[in-house]
Amino acid sequence: MTASPIPWVDLRPREDRAAVDAAIRRVLDRGWYVLGPEVDAFETEFAQATSSGQTIAVASGTDALTLILRALGIGPGDEVITTALSAVYTAQAVMMSGARPVFADIDPERLTLDPAAVATLVGPRTAAVMPVHLYGQPADLTAIRTLTQRHGLALIEDCCQAHLGTCDGVPVGTTGDAAAYSFYPTKNLGALGDGGAVCTGNGELAARIRRLRNGGQTERDQHTEPASHSRLDELQAAVLRARLPHLRDWTTRRRVLAGRYRSGLVGSAVRVPPELDAGHVYHLFPIRTAARDALRAHLRAQDIDTLVHFPVPIPAQPAFATTTPQSCPLADAVCDELVSLPLYPGLDDAAVDRVLAAVADWSGPDRG
C-alpha cells in the first residue's frame, strides 16, 4: 500500500466542523452581515484570549498594521524600523501608510528583528519599531522595548504568526502601543477568507482605528476624517468565534508536533532554529539547509509537501526599490536556506515520523 501524500497544510475543519456550520447558519438566519453582534462578540472574546485591552476587527493583518500606523499619526516623512525577514506585508503596511520602512537585520538564532541592529538605525525620522514574532517565536521584546522607550518611539507588534504566544511569560501584543493579527486561513487562528485585528490597551488609539476602519464615521452620517473600509464581516467573525475555543488545544498540539520534530531531527543533515522562548507557538516549523532545493525535491519524491518562508528578503523585493538600501546579510543568507516542514494541528504523529524518516534518509551538505 502506498502512503498517502502529506500536504504542507490541511485547512478542512475537523473538531470545529459542527460549530463552524452552526456559526454560518446563525449569520444567514440573522441576515446581518457587516459590523453586527458577531464582530462585537468576537472582539470581546479575542481581547480576552490575548489579554489585550481592546480588539478592533478589520479586513486583514496588513490593514491592521496600516491602520495602527495611520492612527498613531505615522506617515509621509517618517521611518519605521522593521525586519528584513518576514511576510512582505509587514513592510507593505509601512509603505501603505506613506512612511518608509528601514530594514534591520535579524538575530542569527532567533531569526527575528535584532535589537542591536535596530539601535544603529534610529535617526531623527524614526517614528516606530515594528518587530515580528516570526514563525510563532517571539522577538526579543524586552530589548526592543528598552530601545523604543529610550528614544520615545512607538512599538508596534506584528503578531500575525503568533496568536497566544508569550515573550518571557508576557502575552505577545501587550508590550507595545498596539499589535496586529491576521486571520488568513493558514494562520494559527484562521478564517474562511481574509481577516485581521488590532489589539491595543490605548483607548484613544482604539477609537480612532474604529473610525478609520469604517469610512471615518463617528456616528451615522458623521464622517470626521478621510478613510476607507476595512471590516471583518459577520460570517468570518462567527467562524472565528467557533474556532477560538479550540485555539489553546491547537497551540498545544503545534508545540507537541514541534517537539517531536526537534528531537527527531537531532543528528540529521538539517539545522533546526532553536526555541529561544517557551512562549513559541509554532505557526511554522522552518529548518535550514544549504541544499534547500535538493531537500525539497527529496521530500516531494516521497509525497511530502514543503514551502519556503521566505525565499526573498523583503528589501530585495522590487516593491521596496525606492527605500534606502540596507545591508542585511544574515537575512539574505537565511532566505537561501529555509524550508518549512508540514505542521498543523490535524497532522498526526505517523505523518511526522514519515517526514523525520525521509529527512534522516537524506544526506545533505550540512551533516557532520
Residues in contact with ligand PLP by CB under 6 A are 60-62, 86-87, 89-90, 132, 158, 160-161, 182, 184, 194, 196
Question: Measured from the CB of residue 63, what is the shortest distance to ligand PLP in angstroms?
Answer: 7
Quickly tell me which residue has 480576552 as its cell: 48
Q: How far apart are CA 248 and CA 151, in angstroms?
A: 36
CB 157 within 8 A of CB 180: yes
Report the residue closest to ligand PLP, judged by CB: 61
Task: Using the minimum distance from each CB to ligand PLP, give the nearer residue, 78 or 158.
Answer: 158
Nearer to ligand PLP, 241 or 354 (CB): 241
Minimal distance, residue 337 CB to ligand PLP, in Å: 19
Q: Closest approach of Cβ 171 to ligand PLP, in Å? A: 17
Q: Would you say the C-alpha torsion 244, 246, 248, 252 has a positive or negative sign?
A: negative
Q: How far is the CB of 93 from ligand PLP (least distance, A)?
A: 7
Report the alpha-carbon distance of residue 176 to residue 64 in Å, rounded.
Answer: 14
Residue closer to ligand PLP by CB (options 128, 351) is 128
CB-CB contact of 93 with 65 (8 Å):
yes
Does residue 229 contact residue 223 with C-beta atoms inside 8 Å?
A: no
Minimal distance in Å, beta carbon 186 to ligand PLP? 8
Strands (E) in 72-213, as ranges, are 79-83, 100-104, 126-130, 154-158, 166-167, 170-171, 178-182, 196-200
Q: Which is nearer to ligand PLP, 137 or 268 (CB)?
A: 137
